[in-house]
């Protein structure tokens, strides 16, 4: 049962939460979310500096309008206006920013307008007068697009061509989807990607800055499997923080709007209970927006009920795929549930799951399928950690259970500690909302001993049976007459 070295002498209660093995969290406490992504030099907050965000406008001021962190914050507060969100900007690499062109051909044959749609954000209308040249139209378009500072690109014009440059270097600029509609005759508007974004930044230094800070969800738009610049380092740091010596339990949420194969590979690279990958193929939402929206919903719902069932929970605002043919099918979503993907269809969560779906040998392992299987044990651990301090147990003495000694003031024994744990487990089973079941069946498996190798150290093991969500109803109807 011992999870810390016998040589480690610092006093305290050290809890290891294990998953798939056969908050401070009173239920009204806000879940804290931190979004880790890029900001621009137009923001007031330096890299590697976590800061609280009060709303989307505050995020625009602190991290630059149209930045990943601004867009992520806007998405978060759309879902949870009263939520607790922090932003953490990490440095971009000396990479390449994605670029896109809008090429305008021939003079306008009529008066009207063309409309620029960037990833489903509110359109930009560009008025056009009959006989306007491509250069005139492009100049007007670039000016009006730049007036929309919330867009993630900066625009210039030259001889009938508008060029939009992603505000951040790196591959995520390739997520841009620019569409043009027009009621102007005798001219055309052609969109193309002229430069592919490449080389993402390394978040290690930024993650160092929050190593000892308590957040329930670490969120990022990083959507590749790289062990240095992708989602993987965020997950690895989340797991490290949750260990017994740090004790800052939480989960990491990433996202993918790529193909099924790419998204499944991202989840497989994690295969971790403390990680979630949200998938919506060809979504107009950027991955940082998708991840922030999921974090907002989970922070709100799990703050009420850690065992919440989020099946078909609808987001308040979701910009899904533009083409109906890109919509995730039910068979694809079913396959995703076997490969660590939380699919979103028509703005609804199919089922909120972790990326843990394989055992060490590569076989199926779905014991930690639902995110509740992580949220509830973390909740119990946080409650125990909080109450241990609240009761002042860290200042008590310790002795073995004995039949010839009565209970003594401020002296803990294994039986006293076990009873204390069981009190909380029964409360979790009997409270509203209920988060555990079968405490009676498992009470004899709750083991607490006073160690003999390290004097004064209690060792314990607490199995939990998290209540299941009502995910399925297999009903047969038989007509007999």
Alpha helix segments (H runs only) across 255-397: 260-270, 287-304, 330-337, 372-390
Are 142 and 103 spatial neighbours (Cβ–Cβ below 8 Å)? Answer: no
User: Angle at CA 8, nearest 5°, toward 3 and 11?
Assistant: 95
User: What pLDDT score was predicted for residue 3?
Assistant: 66
CB atoms within 10 A of CB 334: 13
Tokens of 412: 């803990």
Q: What is the pLDDT of residue 25?
A: 36
Q: What is the mean pLDDT of each run of 10 residues along the chain (481 residues)?
A: 62 68 49 97 98 97 98 98 97 98 98 98 98 98 97 98 98 98 97 98 98 96 97 97 94 98 97 97 98 98 96 97 97 96 98 92 88 96 94 95 85 96 97 95 97 91 96 93 89
How much is the pLDDT for 21? 52
Structural contact between residues 451 and 2, judged by C-beta atoms closer than 8 angstroms: yes
In this prediction, residue 362 carries a pLDDT of 84
Count the alpha carbons within 13 Å of 409 in the hemisphere toward its beta carbon. 0
DSSP secondary structure of 447-472: EEEE-SSSTT-EEEE----BPPP---
Query: pTM to 2 decimals?
Result: 0.93
Residue (of 193, 192, 198) closest to 97 by Cα position: 198
Q: What is the pLDDT of residue 359?
A: 84
DSSP 111-164: SEEEEEEETTSPPEEEEE-TT--HHHHHHHHHHHHHH-TTSSEEEEEETTEEEE
Cβ(181)–Cβ(191) under 8 Å?
Answer: no
């Amino acid at each position: 049962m011992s999870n810390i070295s016998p040589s480690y002498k610092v006093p305290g209660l050290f809890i290891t939460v294990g998953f798939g093995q056969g908050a401070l969290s009173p239920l009204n406490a806000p879940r804290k979310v931190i979004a880790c992504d890029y900001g621009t030099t137009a923001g007031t907050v330096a890299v590697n500096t976590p800061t609280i965000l009060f709303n989307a406008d505050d995020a625009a001021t602190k991290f630059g309008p149209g930045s990943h962190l601004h867009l992520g914050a806007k998405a978060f507060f759309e879902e949870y206006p009263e939520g607790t969100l922090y932003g953490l900007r990490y440095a971009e690499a000396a990479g390449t920013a994605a670029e896109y062109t809008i090429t305008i051909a021939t003079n306008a044959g009529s008066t009207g307008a063309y409309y620029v749609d960037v990833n489903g954000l509110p359109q930009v209308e560009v008025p056009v007068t009959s006989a306007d040249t491509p250069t005139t139209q492009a100049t007007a378009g670039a000016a009006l697009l730049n007036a929309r500072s919330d867009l993630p690109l900066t625009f210039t014009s030259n001889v009938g061509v508008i060029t939009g440059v992603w505000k951040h270097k790196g591959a995520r600029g390739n997520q841009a989807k620019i569409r043009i509609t027009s009621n102007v005759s005798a001219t055309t508007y052609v969109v193309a990607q002229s430069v592919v974004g490449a080389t993402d930044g390394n978040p290690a230094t930024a993650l160092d800055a929050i190593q000892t800070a308590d957040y329930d969800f670490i969120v990022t738009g990083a959507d590749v499997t790289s062990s240095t610049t992708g989602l993987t380092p965020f997950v690895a740091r989340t797991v490290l923080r949750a260990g017994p010596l740090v004790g800052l339990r939480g989960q990491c949420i990433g996202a993918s709007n790529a193909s099924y194969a790419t998204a499944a590979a991202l989840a497989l690279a994690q295969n971790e209970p403390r990680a979630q990958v949200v998938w919506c193929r060809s979504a107009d939402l950027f991955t940082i927006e998708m991840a922030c929206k999921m974090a907002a919903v989970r922070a709100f719902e799990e703050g009420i009920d850690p065992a919440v069932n989020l099946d078909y929970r609808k987001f308040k605002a979701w910009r899904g795929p533009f083409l109906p043919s890109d919509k995730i099918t039910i068979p694809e979503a079913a396959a995703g549930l076997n490969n660590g993907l939380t699919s979103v269809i028509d703005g609804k969560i199919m089922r909120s799951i972790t990326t843990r779906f394989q055992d060490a040998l590569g076989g199926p392992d779905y014991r930690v399928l639902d995110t509740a299987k992580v949220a509830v044990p973390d909740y119990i651990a946080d409650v125990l950690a909080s109450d241990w301090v609240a009761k002042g147990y860290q200042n008590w003495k310790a002795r073995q259970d004995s039949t010839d000694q009565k209970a003594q003031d401020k002296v803990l024994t294994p039986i006293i500690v076990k009873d204390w744990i069981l009190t909380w487990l029964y409360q979790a089973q009997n409270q509203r909302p209920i988060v555990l079941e079968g405490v009676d069946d498992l009470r004899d498996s709750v083991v607490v001993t006073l160690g003999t190798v390290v004097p004064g150290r209690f060792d314990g093991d607490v199995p939990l049976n998290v209540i299941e969500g009502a995910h399925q109803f297999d009903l047969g109807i038989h007509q007999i007459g």
